[in-house]
């Protein structure tokens, strides 16, 4: 009997047919099990419409996405003073209404939100002339006020730079548009004047009282003040130099007052 005939007889044996049948059944079972698992794991057939999040704030975004089983991630904050702080400027993926794209539960939507404060590096104005320091601050998008302190060695130069009443160093990050107080050295004259008693006065009253005295500079440090109205109504609880009846100080000196709301 030749090899082809032996092979033919083996193929048609009951044992061979049973084994082939078992293999086919096993393959079909594995195929269906894998399909069922993948459908369950990938939420096959499920689709969620991507909502339009642009214009909402983060709190609103979270509430919207929680209801439909989606998450979000802030990918970038962009300086945009024309938009409310924390508003969504763009999203990825785009809303289904525009893109016709649907996603599955648990997908993360990336959003860009607005911020109104752009931070910049504080320039170094120490030991620079007053005019040069004013130009540098203006070009950096910062405002400034000038205050003078008696100094022979540093006359006409900046001896200290303050932000919100505290020293600010070069390269410190501060919001653009902030007001910097430049303390400029000035030769003291032989003239002296009485130290005014500013305790208990509001900042507006202090400014009115000193407005007629061009030889006195004022530095205000206000605790808890946010708006100009807060500062105006804040009351002085400390001043330097301290008021002592009959005491005088040099014309052109600076008075520093501490006040709170």
Collect the ranges in the chain with pLDDT lower than 50.
Answer: 45
Residue 207 lies in a domain: yes
Instruction: Say how far apart CA 252 and CA 155 lie, in whole Å.
Output: 12
Q: Which of 97, 115, 133 marks a domain boundary?
A: 115
pLDDT of 119 reads 85
Phi then psi for residue 76, to 5 deg, are -165, 145
pTM of this structure: 0.40
* Residue (of 197, 157, 195, 188) closest to 252 by Cα position: 188
pLDDT of 39 reads 55
Domain count, the chain: 2
Residue 198 lies in a domain: yes
Q: Which of 115, 140, 164 marks a domain boundary?
A: 115
Instruction: Say how far apart CA 73 and CA 57 lie, in whole Å.
Output: 13
| Helix H or strand E encompassing 9 | helix 3-11
Q: What residues pair up with 219 in beta bridges, in sequence order?
A: 256
pLDDT of 12 reads 62
Domain that includes residue 74, residue range: 48-115
Residue 43 lies in a domain: no
* Residue (of 188, 189, 193, 199) closest to 248 by Cα position: 193
Residue 237 lies in a domain: yes
The per-residue pLDDT for range 171-183, each reduced to its tens digit, is 999 988 889 999 9
Instruction: Tell me if residue 193 falls in helix, strand or coil.
Output: strand
Pair of tokens at residue 76 = 């970038």
**Using DSSP, how many helices (H) and how many strands (E) does the chain show?**
7, 16
Q: Which of 83, 115, 147 marks a domain boundary?
A: 115
Q: What is the CATH number for 80?
A: 3.30.10.20
* Residue (of 146, 147, 156, 61) closest to 109 by Cα position: 61
pLDDT of 62 reads 92
Conformation bin of residue 89: beta by default, left when phi > 0, alpha when psi is -120 to 50: alpha
pLDDT of 3 reads 55
Residue 1 lies in a domain: no
Residue 139 lies in a domain: no
């Amino acid at each position: 009997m030749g090899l082809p005939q032996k092979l033919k007889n083996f193929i048609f044996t009951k044992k061979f047919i049973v084994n082939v049948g078992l293999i086919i059944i096993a393959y079909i079972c594995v195929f269906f099990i894998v399909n069922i698992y993948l459908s369950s794991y990938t939420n096959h057939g499920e689709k969620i419409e991507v909502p339009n999040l642009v214009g909402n704030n983060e709190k609103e975004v979270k509430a919207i996405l929680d209801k439909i089983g989606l998450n979000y991630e802030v990918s970038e904050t962009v300086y945009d003073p024309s938009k409310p702080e924390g508003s969504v400027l763009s999203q990825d993926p785009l809303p289904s209404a525009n893109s016709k794209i649907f996603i599955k539960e648990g997908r993360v939507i990336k959003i860009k939100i607005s911020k109104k404060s752009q931070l910049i590096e504080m320039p170094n104005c120490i030991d620079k002339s007053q005019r040069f320091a004013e130009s540098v601050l203006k070009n950096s998008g910062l405002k400034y006020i000038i205050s003078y302190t008696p100094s022979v060695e540093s006359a006409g130069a900046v001896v200290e730079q303050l932000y919100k009443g505290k020293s600010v160093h070069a390269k410190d990050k501060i919001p653009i548009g902030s007001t910097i107080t430049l303390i400029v050295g000035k030769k003291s004259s032989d003239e002296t004047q009485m130290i005014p008693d500013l305790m208990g006065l509001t900042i507006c009253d202090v400014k009115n009282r000193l407005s007629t005295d061009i030889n006195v500079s004022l530095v205000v440090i206000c605790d808890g003040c946010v708006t100009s109205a807060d500062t105006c109504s804040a009351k002085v609880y400390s001043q330097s130099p301290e008021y002592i009846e009959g005491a005088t100080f040099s014309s052109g000196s600076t008075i520093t007052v501490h006040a709170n709301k």
